[in-house]
Structure 1
């Protein structure tokens, strides 16, 4: 892969990562509720799932998006239900508490990672996206382990940059919600975003 191809790949993945969808909505809602730093493991879970799809695409496994349609449907339903639960928690959260307060420490980190992984894994179209444009940058008939490692690292950096940029921008809006009334609006707004993400995830065409 040439430098020009690698740079173009990086930019396209970045744009793909910040395109509105369930993952972006979840990042925004969490950043509004608990700040940008709390989104790191959530975003990392999404990115790990994306990279697994990317690797599958490199090996020409697009067929799984069709042959395992029922499995992906189940994952999508479970993911949507979880997002709806989080949305309800945020909507009903007391003003004095963070909308996404939950287990802290290692348990909280694992749950955040699993949440992000589930959100991304529930969208089998990700693998189709990678298959659609990978041939533009790589000779897919002569892929080496180094090529796959390179595109995986580029994807990791690009997606994390995009998602954390969104988290930072969303978190900056928290300063406008310091009074109890505004904090209540923040909780309900973040909850609405998460519920919207759940509906988007559940109702999107397979």
Structure 2
């Protein structure tokens, strides 16, 4: 792998990770609601999913992934269910705050904790089986997959972690700062309920899409 191809691949992966998507929204929401560590856990799960896709592409298992369509469909449904549950939890939490004068903060364990955040990011990434074929078509543009050495594969994995992970980390910290500044925002409750509705809709779309 040449320096130019490595740099180009890094920039492409970072640009893809920065595009608005359900994974970005989940990182932002978890970080804003529960704290940066939870956004980072989602980010770690997303990176783990991308590494799995890269491994499939490098090992030439795209055809196998197609054969495992039913398995990936189950993963997609699990990710969709999590998004719907997360959205409903946001909405219900805000409704309770409207009905009670002082409601204690929702325990972080109720949101699935750090392991739940990691699994959510992983499932959301693996639920998009089309990403396998995307990596299978992207990587050959920059690399000769058949000629990759173990060092090249290690470098490729490191590029993925650095590119995708760094972008998601920026989103996590930015979301926490915005949440802190908006703590006194008059319409914060409505914004959170709207976010909850978005996740319910995103989960429904993920479950229904082919």
TM-score, normalization by structure 1: 0.88
SS in 1 for 2:128: coil
Report Cα offsets for 1:75-125 as digits up to 9, x if no partner.
111210111001100111144555683259xx8222221111111111111
Q: Larger Cα Rg: Structure 1 or Structure 2?
A: 2
Report Cα offsets for 1:8-31 as digits up to 9, x if no partner.
000111111122222112112223
Equivalent in the alignment of 1:102: 109
Aligned residues: 203
Question: Would the aligned equivalents of 2:76 and 2:127 in 1 still touch at CA under 8 Å?
Answer: yes
Q: Which runs of 5+ in 1 are unaligned?
A: none
1:150-165 equivalent positions in 2, closer than 5 A: 150-165=155-170
Cα separation, partners in 2 of 1:33 and 1:100, compared to 1, 3 Å: farther
SS in 1 for 2:187: helix
SS in 1 for 2:62: coil
Equivalent in the alignment of 2:197: 192
CA RMSD, Structure 1 to Structure 2 (Å): 2.2
Q: Is the deviation greater in 48-57 or in 35-44?
A: 35-44
Q: Quote the offset at 1:187 in angstroms.
A: 2.5
Tell me, in whole angstroms, the C-alpha distance in 2 between the residues paired with 1:200 and 1:99: 27
TM-score, normalization by structure 2: 0.86
Tell me, in whole angstroms, the C-alpha distance in 2 between the residues paired with 1:99 and 1:181: 20
Equivalent in the alignment of 2:7: 7
Q: Which runs of 5+ in 2 are unaligned?
A: 98-102
Tell me, in whole angstroms, the C-alpha distance in 1 between the residues paired with 2:43 and 2:12: 18
Question: Would the aligned equivalents of 1:176 and 1:182 in 2 still touch at CA under 8 Å?
Answer: no
Q: Is the deviation greater in 11-20 or in 148-157?
A: 11-20
